Structure 1
Amino acid sequence: MKNNQTEIIYFGKLEHNGWSMYLAATDNGLCFVGSQNKELAEVENWVAKKRASAMLVHDEEKIHPYKEQFISYLDGERVELDLPIDLRGTPFQQLVWRELQKIPYGKTVTYMDIAKQIEKPKAVRAVGAAIGANPVMIRVPCHRVVGKDGKLTGFRGGIPMKESLLALEREKVLEDVHGAP
C-alpha cells in the first residue's frame, strides 16, 4: 500500500454444501475468514478493530479464487490451501501462526505442543491467545489445535465448526488410507 492510499479489503460470501462464511482479502492475499453462518457484521467488526483505515468493498470476482480453493478443501478434494495470505499481528502471533501452518492435514496438536515447538513452553496461554487471534482460520489451521486432554476447546468459528472441519479431514485421511468407498 502506497502512502496515504486507503487499503481496500474485498469480501464475498462462500456458500457451498451447507457451508456459509465470508472471506475477505486485500491485493496481497486472504486476510479474514469468517465463522460458519455468521453475518457480514463479523467481517465489518474485524476490519473496524484490526484495519480501521481500510475500506470494505463487496467484490465476488476478487474473492472467487479464494472461494474455489475453499470449496475444493471442503469437498475433500484438496488437503492444502496455498492461497496467499495478508496476515498482520505481533511478532509472537506471527511466530505462532507460522507454526500452525506446519500441522499436517488430519492431525491435531495441543496448545502445549505449539508452545514447545516455538521454544516457549511456559507461554501456553499466550499461544492460546495468539491462536484465537488468527484471522484466517482454515487457511492457517487453528482448528487442528486441541486441549491437552484431547478435547475441542476455543475456536472463533465455534466448536461445531471445529468438529466439522476435523471430521472432514479425518474422513479424507481414512479414505486415502483405505481407499474410497
Structure 2
Amino acid sequence: MTKVIGLTGGIATGKSTVSQYLKTKGLKIIDADIVARQVVEPGTKGLALIQEAFGNEVINPDGNLNRAQLGKVVFADSHARQKLNQILHPLIFRTILGRLEDLKAQRCPVVVLDIPLLFETGWEQRCDLTWVVACFPQQQLTRLMARDHLDQAAAQARIAAQYPLTEKMARADVVLMNDNDQAGLYHQVDQALAKLS
C-alpha cells in the first residue's frame, strides 16, 4: 500500500530543500513545478493555450514561454492569474495523477507530491499525510528578496498573492519549521519519516 505525502509550504520557506533531501533518501517525488514546466514546453497544448490567452508577448523568439513576462502579467492581475490557473491546473492535475497511479502500480512504499498549491487545489484529499515547510514571516520576506532579487514591495506582493502560510500550517499533519539551520530542518524531516514506519 503506497503512502502519499503531500509536501507544501510558502514561497521561499524551504520546500525545495526538503524535497531534495527526501530525494537523497530514495523517496519518489512528483514535483508539480517540474510538471508545470513540462506542460508548457514548445509544441505542447499548454503553451498554445497560454499564447492564445495572453498573446505573443509571453512567448520568446525561440518559441519558449517567457516566464518573466507572464509573471509580470499574472502577479499584477488576479483575473489574469485565474485565467492562467484555469489553463494549467487541469493539464498539471492529469499528469501528476498519471504518474501517481504508475508509482502505486509499482507498489512504491512512499510517494511525495511536492505541490505548492496543495490545499488551494484540493490535492490534500489524495494524500495520507500533509507536510508544510514554514518559517517566520520576516525570514520568508528576506529569503524571497535575496533569492529572486526583488525589492521589498514586490516580494510582499508575491507573498500576499499566496494562500496564507498560517492557514497551511493549521491544516497540516506535520509542520517543518525552517527557522534555523539546514541540519535542524533535516532532523525534523528524519523524525517525520521515522513516524511513517
Q: TM-score, structure 1 length as denominator?
A: 0.27
Q: TM-score, structure 2 length as denominator?
A: 0.26
Q: Comparing both structures, which one devotes a greater share of its residues to helix?
A: 2
Please say which structure displays the higher CA radius of gyration. Answer: 2
Q: Which of 1 and 2 has higher RCO (CA within 8 Å, sep 6+)?
A: 2
